[in-house]
Amino acid sequence: MTFELRIDVPRREPRKRRLARRVGLGLTLFLIGSHAVADEFVVLESRWVRLAELPTGSWCEDAGTVLTRSAAPGSVAFAVTKRGVDVTGAVERRPARRRLEVSPKPLAPARSDVIWETDSIRTAELARGVDVYLPVARPDGGALVVRLQRDWRGLVMGPLTALEIQLDGESLYWVDANYDGVLTADDRVIYGDRSIWMPFHQPWIAGQTVYDRVVLEQGEVRAQTRVQKVDGETGQIFAEWNRVRKDQGVPPGLLETTFSQYCVEHSEYLRLNAAFSHQQDPALPGASEGGAQAGASSVIYLGDRSITVSWALSSAYHRAQILDPRDVYLQAGGNRHAFLMGGAWFSTKKKEKRRPAQAQRLPAPGSIMPKGRCSIEWPDNPAKRKGEAIGLPVFCRIFERGPVLESVSGALYFVKGSLESGERRGEVPALLSYPGHEAPREFLDNFDQVMLTPFASLRPGVYEADFSFVYRDRVRAHRWRFQVLP
């Protein structure tokens, strides 16, 4: 999987570089603006497991790779045939089990004298799923597990082996994404019982606990921990925000307290001046430099602040801002008049700069959206020419300002049946927009999104999005499914 992970450290805080620690074998990560933590490491409870399902990804590749001819994970070879798949070099195979299994080990030990020469897996077996055990040994002596299954995408192969780590109130799964038996920052992580994985990142966040400087050595996972306590209604909104980020395959964030106070200042400026703007007039009451910075880098919601997150989640032009995977530090705050939330862009604590191999897909693959209609927001979506009650927008976001795209196409389909095996049915009438095409007059870059906006609210059920465009002389195709609740 091609994915570059680069974490910037503020230049005026060179001591941060000295806080870096190795993760896995010889890989160094530099952390972003860490708060002060205790010197002692704590050992986190962990165990090896086999996941129940193949993970998906919203801004990195899915775990399931579609096989058309052959593949070679680890030292095993898969060859697609008319009858199914021929497997060479595996230790064992079993029917797929759709539940998590602790410390999966093959019945036969991973020795060269018991490795298969060749085994054939028939098409009927692949429809139910088959777990193949590789001869590559984990550090604890267990085997790595690969799942082969046939689903709506075709014949799919992907990794299932992970180290389950107990955090504050939830598990984190560190998945061996490249089948090499070693966990490093090249692998992926999953929070809780979700099916969406994301690139390895630091710090980990669960509940009110922050896990810094995570180290895996000699079979033990150790980290420095601290409490990030956010009280009151802002704390409740911030907790919901981080939960939604995890649900959509994006790392949770840390609250930047100084800029959260600036959010309060901008909301007070709006109240005093009966205004609604991301900018400030320095001559008006309540204006401040910090408040102006918060206003320019936040989503602003007027009204019942308790629904700020759900409103942004169902929006066309604000959803990507609250789900930006590059935002490690977040800002949130307000008053009874307005509430602000966004990435702390103006903070000296730098963003995490990742360059994904594909666009961010939202709603995330496999995710569940609470409603099928678009939130009321400004700017107006051009799809409103067909009526005010437009549906939930679906889009790919490119991580470049005003990307130049060619040969753009997109369609949204209703699926009869389940996420995994349902059949694509009728196309949902929707407006296709992208930079320079059917974008809001005030924002011709379309917020760097290739978007489908249904002309009516999506009814409950499963949907499949299918996008294709040429970006930087390469054809980018993105096809995924998500679900809408009643």
Report the alpha-carbon distance of residue 466 to residue 68 in Å, rounded: 19
Of the ranges 29-33, 380-384, 443-447, which one carries the lowest mean pLDDT score?
29-33
pLDDT at 29 over 50: no
Provide the token pair at 156: 């799919």
250 φ/ψ sector (left φ>0, alpha ψ -120 to 50, else beta)? beta
Q: How confident is the model at residue 35 (pLDDT cuts 50, 70, 90)?
A: very low
pLDDT at 183 (0 to 100): 94
Comparing 146 with 357, which gets the higher pLDDT?
146
Return the pLDDT at 107: 61
Of all residues in the chain, the percent with pLDDT exceeding 70 is: 89
pLDDT over 90 percentage in the chain: 75
Q: What pLDDT does 421 receive?
A: 92
Domains of the chain: 49-161 (no CATH), 232-355 (3.40.33.10), 362-484 (2.60.40.1220)
Cβ atoms of 100 and 50 within 8 Å: the answer is yes
Per-residue pLDDT reduced to its tens digit, 225-264: 999 999 999 999 999 999 999 999 999 999 999 999 999 9
pLDDT at 457: 96
Structure tokens at 415: 């699926």
pLDDT at position 39 is 54
Task: Examine the pLDDT at 415 and tell me if it is beyond 80.
Answer: yes
pLDDT tens string 44-103? 999 999 999 999 999 999 999 999 888 888 778 999 999 999 999 888 889 998 899 887
Rounded-to-integer distance, Cα 142 and Cα 429, Å: 50
Helices and strands, counts by H and E, the chain: 7, 37
When mean pLDDT is compared across 30-39, 257-266, 324-333, 455-464, the lowest value belongs to: 30-39
Which pLDDT band holds residue 272 (cuts at 50, 70, 90)?
very high
For residue 476, give the nearest of 412, 413, 429, 409 by alpha carbon: 409
Q: Is 241 helix (H, G, I), strand (E, B) or coil?
A: helix
Spatial separation of the C-alpha atoms in residues 198 and 3, rounded to whole Å: 11
Q: What is the pLDDT of residue 17?
A: 32
d(CA 178, CA 181): 8
In this structure, are residues 329 and 347 in contact, taking their beta carbons and an 8 Å threshold? yes
DSSP secondary structure letter of residue 159: E
> How far are the Cα atoms of 154, 397, 443 from residue 58, in angstroms, in the given order?
19, 10, 24
- Contact in structure between 434 and 449 (CB atoms under 8 Å): yes
- The residue that leads in pLDDT, 433 or 18, is 433
Per-residue pLDDT band at 108 (split at 50, 70, 90): low
Give the burial class of 436: count Cβ atoms within 10 A of its Cβ; 0-12 exposed, 13-18 middle, 19 or more buried.
middle
- Is the pLDDT assigned to residue 138 strictly greater than 90? no
Confidence grade of residue 106 (pLDDT, cut at 50, 70, 90): low
Contacts 24+ apart (CB under 8 A), 278-287: none
d(CA 400, CA 389): 30
State the average pLDDT for the chain.
Answer: 88
3-state helix, strand, coil in the chain (%, to 5): 15, 40, 45
Q: Who has greater pLDDT, 6 or 462?
A: 462
20 pLDDT higher than 50: no
Residue 157 pairs with which residues in a beta bridge? 65, 148
Task: Determine the pLDDT at residue 363.
Answer: 98
* pLDDT of 1: 35
Which pLDDT score is estimated for 92? 86
Lowest mean per-residue pLDDT among 38-47, 79-88, 427-436, 466-475: 38-47
* Strand ranges in 154-297 using DSSP code E only, listed in sequence order: 154-159, 161-166, 171-175, 188-191, 196-199, 204-206, 209-217, 220-227, 254-255
Going by C-alpha positions, the residue among 24, 249, 67 that lies closest to residue 158 is 67
Segment 464-470 shows an average pLDDT of 98
Distance of CA 109 to the CA centre of its chain: 36
Assess contact for 154 and 188: CB atoms under 8 A. no
Distance CA(95)–CA(74), nearest Å, equals 21
Q: What is the pLDDT of residue 13?
A: 33
pLDDT for residue 137:
76
Residue 305: predicted pLDDT:
87
Helix (H, G, I), strand (E, B) or coil at 353: strand
Mean pLDDT of 186-212: 95
